[in-house]
């Protein structure tokens, strides 16, 4: 059980849930928060994230990105703690639970509206495919450096705007900006992961963004992600401003900037790994303070 808990990579869950929280806070801000729908969004996201983590463990072992020279936490298939067959079965079970939870969510949120149900089913299946195909298969898109785009789409636009729509049933163009904030910070966590693994990824032929750009340019790229995320939140707040409490998220900004500064100063691979957890938790704090600022009236 301990090995499976390690394989689940529970430390990734706060980041995955950030976009769901953001979408739910925005729905509450519009006066149409639905706790049942929000709860099912959370459950479905947990299943999808754990399934993605299992697929990553399985796929990176198969494709050679996880090997003895790799830095960072041990992976269960590569280390022999869990067999490839067991991991594959667990991955399939995760997909089944994701589908059941996701389908239940759509029926409760949308009823039997065929057009909307069909669209969100395609979106849900796309999320499931993206969770697995990142590292699994003959041509995993993560090995082509497309993981950043996928994270921006699913941890940003789909997570935030999808959660919002399932509760409010409409969309607002201004939602692009909080979606960007969540998505870009999530891409930042992935970038840290790829900076940490840059040498082992080169050996495995995994052309992540840091492998393509080089370490120094990847640090510049990281700063761009962080600053654009902050700028998007500031712009949304300025456009939707009605209360001073809406600027509460600014208290989380020093932690986000500290992450970029620590990465810039890092010289050893081992110094990068703690920054993943730090940015993931900073993202969660950013979302909570952003959301509280929307619902608290001063």
Q: Rounded distance, CA 8 to CA 231, Å?
A: 33
Mean pLDDT for the stretch of residues 255-271: 93
Mean pLDDT for the stretch of residues 30-50: 95
Q: Model confidence at 64, in pLDDT bands (50, 70, 90)?
A: low
Q: Model confidence at 76, in pLDDT bands (50, 70, 90)?
A: confident
Mean pLDDT for the stretch of residues 232-243: 95
Q: Is the pTM of this model over 0.85?
A: yes
- Whether 174 and 239 have beta carbons less than 8 Å apart is answered as yes
> What pLDDT score was predicted for residue 71?
56
- Average pLDDT of the chain? 91
Instruction: Tell me how far the alpha carbon of residue 256 is from its chain's centroid.
Output: 16
Mean pLDDT for the stretch of residues 96-124: 94
- Whether 175 and 168 have beta carbons less than 8 Å apart is answered as no
Mean pLDDT for the stretch of residues 191-215: 92
- Whether 160 and 179 have beta carbons less than 8 Å apart is answered as yes
Q: Would you list the DSSP string of 139-164?
A: S-GGGGT-HHHHHIIIIIIIIIIHHH
Computed from CA positions of residues 171, 155, 7, 67, in that sequence, does the dihedral angle turn out positive or negative? positive
Q: Is 34 helix (H, G, I), strand (E, B) or coil?
A: coil
Mean pLDDT for the stretch of residues 189-216: 92
Q: What is the SS3 string spanning 101-118?
A: HHHHHHHHHHCCCHHHHH
Closest by CA position to 75, among listed 151, 128, 147, 9: 9
Reply yes or no on whether the pLDDT at 167 is more than 60: yes
Q: Rounded distance, CA 96 to CA 108, Å?
A: 18
Q: Which of 149-158, 201-210, 262-271 has the highest mean pLDDT?
A: 149-158
Q: Domain locations in the chain?
A: 2-295
Mean pLDDT for the stretch of residues 221-239: 97
């Amino acid at each position: 059980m301990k090995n499976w808990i390690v394989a689940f990579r529970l430390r990734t869950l706060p980041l995955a849930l950030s976009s769901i929280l953001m979408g739910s806070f925005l729905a509450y801000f519009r006066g149409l928060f639905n706790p049942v729908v929000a709860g099912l969004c959370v459950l479905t996201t947990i299943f999808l994230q754990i399934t993605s983590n299992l697929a990553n463990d399985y796929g990176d072992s198969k494709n050679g990105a996880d090997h003895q020279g790799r830095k960072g936490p041990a992976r269960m298939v590569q280390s022999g703690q869990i067999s490839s067959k067991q991991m594959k079965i667990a991955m399939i079970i995760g997909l089944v639970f994701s589908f059941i939870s996701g389908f239940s969510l759509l029926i409760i949120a949308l009823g039997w509206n065929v057009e909307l149900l069909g669209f969100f089913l395609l979106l849900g299946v796309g999320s499931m495919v993206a969770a697995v195909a990142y590292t699994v298969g003959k041509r995993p898109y993560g090995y082509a450096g497309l993981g950043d785009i996928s994270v921006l789409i699913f941890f940003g636009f789909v997570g935030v705007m999808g959660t919002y729509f399932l509760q409010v049933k409409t969309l607002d163009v201004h939602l692009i900006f909080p979606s960007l904030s969540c998505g870009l910070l999530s891409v930042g966590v992935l970038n840290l992961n790829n900076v940490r693994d840059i040498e082992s990824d080169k050996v495995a032929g995994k052309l992540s963004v840091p492998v393509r750009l080089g370490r120094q340019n990847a640090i510049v790229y990281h700063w761009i992600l962080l600053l654009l995320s902050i700028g998007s939140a500031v712009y949304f707040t300025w456009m939707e401003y009605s209360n001073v409490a809406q600027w509460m998220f600014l208290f989380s900004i020093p932690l986000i900037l500290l992450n970029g500064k620590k990465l810039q100063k890092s010289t050893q691979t081992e110094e990068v790994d703690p920054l993943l957890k730090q940015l993931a938790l900073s993202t969660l704090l950013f979302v909570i303070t952003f959301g509280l600022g929307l619902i608290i009236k001063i």
